[in-house]
Structure 1
Amino acid sequence: MMILPLIISSLIAGLAQLDAKQSGRMGSIALLYYFATTTIAVITGIILVLTIHPGDPAIKQNLGMETGGKNVSTVDTFLDLIRNMFPDNIVRATFGQVQTKYIKVRPKVVLANASYLAEVQAGLHDLEKPIVEYSDGMNVLGIITFCIAVGIVLSQLGHEGVRVVEFFATMDKVIMRLVMYIMHYSPIGIMCLIMGKILEIADLVDTAKMLALYMFTVLCGLAIHALITLPLIYFVLTKKNPFLFMRGMLDAWITA
């Protein structure tokens, strides 16, 4: 509920109050940084999952077995990334993102001889046809791209866009205040959600073991990304102590 307004208001307000050249350069750097860190995070997650194998042990036995349907290629993944970066409908991007899937299609054959047609169709195999579908989940990349573009244009308008900039700046303060209020009462809601899910579990011991292994994998990934990957990138680019910078970002990290 708060993530989408927070992203929109903070990005537009922040970029609109910068110089046009500076904000354009910052937007390009932000996109490049997002691509780089996302790629590294995905690689880290894949390595950890293949190493630790969290989840149901029965699933491991089916790894590598064909389940029908063609695997999505690297090209499809890259094209999905481009499609999500430039969504055709910004409203839909708030709750859906593009994903390529493959469906089986029977090739059509038109012949005059019915018996020969039956023989031909019997020897045909279904073809894999790629289709683009929308899956549930906010398209963060598309929203960020849109907000960066709006922020840059507002900074170029000068005095004509002051009212709009003030609106988003005020909205950013309002959302941050709401986030602080929610954080004070969030432990109660989180406790109720967890207790409700625990009561629905049939085999608590096995589920707890799988959940503990999953949590360990996630925490390892977050620790590697936050304490090794990001500080290393900061040190390589700035030649400064990354942990001093991270200490100044502590409030933002806690909010996130």
Structure 2
Amino acid sequence: MPTRLALHWQILIALILAVIAGQLSGTEAGIAGVSFYAVYDFLGTLFLNALKMLIVPLIMASIISGIAGVGQGGSLGRLGGRTLLYYLASSLIAILIGLALVNLITPGIVDGEPARDIIGLQAADAELEQVTGRGAGDIADVFLRMVPPNVIDAATNNGQMLGVIFFSLLFGYFMARIEEPYAESLYTFWQGVYEVMMRITDLVMRFAPIGVFALVARVMADTGLGAFVPLLSFALTVLAALALHAFVALPLILMLIARVRPGRHYRAVAPAMLTAFSTASSSATLPITMECVQDNAKVSRRTSSFVLPLGATVNMDGTALYECVAAIFIAQAYGLDLSFAQQFTIVVIALLTSVGVAGIPAASLVAITIILAAIGLPAEAIGLILAVDRILDMCRTSVNVFSDSCAAVVIGRLEGEEGILADEDGQARRA
């Protein structure tokens, strides 16, 4: 009986075919009066909707049952502290990598002159309307979003996932502290919900290659590879920084702290990274990330149920890196020579906004607007990067998801779990 092709290879083949199909079809070609672009749009939206349908019940069931299973509050405190420390450290490392490269390459300077007039400001009104009027208050708003007045309403609002996570953490924590008959019934219920959601996730994943093909083909039909040409230096700087973080910094963390082989981890989470690339959404990719980390990397559900949903909301390494590079690129393009203090301000704001602004529509654009205001540049400067933002968004989301998965492995190893990324004989592959 022929061996079925692994999911990550199916998705990779779909990506390659999508680039070719999108380039050939464009937005006008079609058959029998139906454009190929409309087909891409329908299938891509259907796949995204299926993934988003899983998010709220999967997050609530995994966190509540996971936290209830942790047991004593001291153990939960240790797990939470390690998780948050990892997220802050990895985001800071990503920002510093971006800061170093953008200062080294200086993509905003062309032939010794600021690139503003060469590139031209082509801000899209619809995009800029989403960030108009935003300010540093969006950073503080994260605390208000953590405690929603109506958790049901928060569950229906994509920008309020922090509220759902916070409520689930409280529910799971106190569920383990009520009288036994009630605690056992609730635990059985939420455990059952979790198992059902994972079965539904398996079903959705069977159609992942089709969904990925449609999403990427739509982007290629819309913008094509030509979107990179006028901003090639900026795009390459971002891609180089993301590559350094994903293929150097994070693997070093896996080797030095978790003591595992990075290559095996890449194979374990490849389907999640490729899905993140196509969807450009950490939250939409969460069901697949959890499946990869638990089934392939063998991280316990106790750890992954806490680390991954939290990471999908607050751990944005790629986004933080992009914010830093974009802000300094725009400053360079305007001919602004940033001082050390101004660049330090960019680092701090990028770190805070990568957490606090993640749930707002056009999150990275909002964060960049806040940074631009801090260094005295107008919001319309975002028009410099809009042409390549979508494609770079796909790349940085993959880095966000990979960092989340690394966090689960690192925290799991620190918690003393055995069998994570183990060989066939059951022994963990150590660096």
Equivalent residue of 1:162, what SS?
Answer: helix
Q: What SS does the corresponding residue of 2:61 show, helix, strand or coil?
A: helix
The Cα of 1:11 is off from its aligned counterpart by: 1.3
Structure number with the higher helix fraction is 2
Matching residue of 1:123: none
Q: Partner of 1:181 in structure 2? A: 203
The gaps in structure 1 that reach 5 residues or longer are 97-136
Tell me, what secondary structure is at the counterpart of 1:247?
helix
Q: Residues 181 and 52 from structure 1, CA distance in 2 versus in 1: closer, same or farther, beyond 3 angstroms?
A: farther
- Counterparts of 2:177 and 2:263 in 1: how far apart (Å)? 30
**Equivalent residue for 2:186, pick from 141, 146, 164:** 164
Q: CA deviation at 1:87?
A: 2.7
| Count of matched residue pairs | 205
Q: Which has the higher strand share?
A: 1
Letter in 1 for 2:166: T
Aligned position for 2:149: 88
2:226 is matched with which residue?
A: 206
SS at match of 1:150: helix
Residues 146 and 163 in structure 2, CA contact (< 8 A), matched pair in contact too: yes
Name the CA distance, whole Å, in 2 between partners of 1:7 and 1:157.
22
Alignment-mate amino acid for residue 174 of structure 2: V
Partner of 1:150: 171
For 1:78, the equivalent position in structure 2 comes to 139
- Closer, same or farther: CA 79–199 of 1 in aligned 2, 3 Å: closer
2:80 matched to which residue of 1? 27
Residue 59 of structure 2 is matched in structure 1 by 7
Identity of aligned residues (%): 26
What per-residue deviation string (whole Å, max 9, x for no partner) do you get for residues 53-73 of structure 1?
Answer: 69xx8896459xxx9977623
Q: Over residues 86-121 of structure 1, what are the superposed CA-to-partner deviations in whole Å (9 max), with x where a residue is unaligned?
A: 23332333354xxxxxxxxxxxxxxxxxxxxxxxxx
Matching of residues 1-256 of structure 1 within 5 Å: 1=52, 2-21=54-73, 22-38=75-91, 41=94, 61-62=120-121, 72-73=135-136, 76-96=137-157, 137-157=158-178, 159=180, 160-200=182-222, 204=224, 206-207=226-227, 209=229, 220=240, 222-231=242-251, 238=257, 240-243=258-261, 247=265, 250=268, 254=272, 255-256=288-289
Task: Write the distance in 2 (CA, Å) between the matches of 1:221 and 1:141.
Answer: 28
**Would you say the 8 A contact 2:68–2:175 is kept in 1?**
yes
TM-score, length-scaled by structure 2: 0.38
CA contact (8 A) 2:254 2:261 kept: no
CA 1:72–1:173: 2 relative to 1, 3 Å: same
Measured in 2, the distance between the counterparts of 1:81 and 1:47 equals: 28
CA distance in 2, matches of 1:215, 1:3: 31
Q: 1:195 to 1:178 in 2, by over 3 A?
A: same
Query: Hey, what's the Cα distance between the residues in 1 that align with 2:155 and 2:102?
Result: 29
Deviation at 1:33, TM superposition (A): 4.1
TM-score (norm. length: structure 1) = 0.58
Per the alignment, in what secondary structure is the counterpart of residue 207 of structure 1?
helix
How far has the Cα of 1:214 moved from its partner?
Answer: 8.6
Distance, in Å, in 2 between the alignment partners of 1:17 and 1:235 is 29
Is the 1:93–1:143 contact (alpha carbons within 8 Å) kept by the matching residues of 2? yes
1:153 deviation in Å?
0.8
What is the RMSD computed on CA atoms of the aligned residues? 4.4
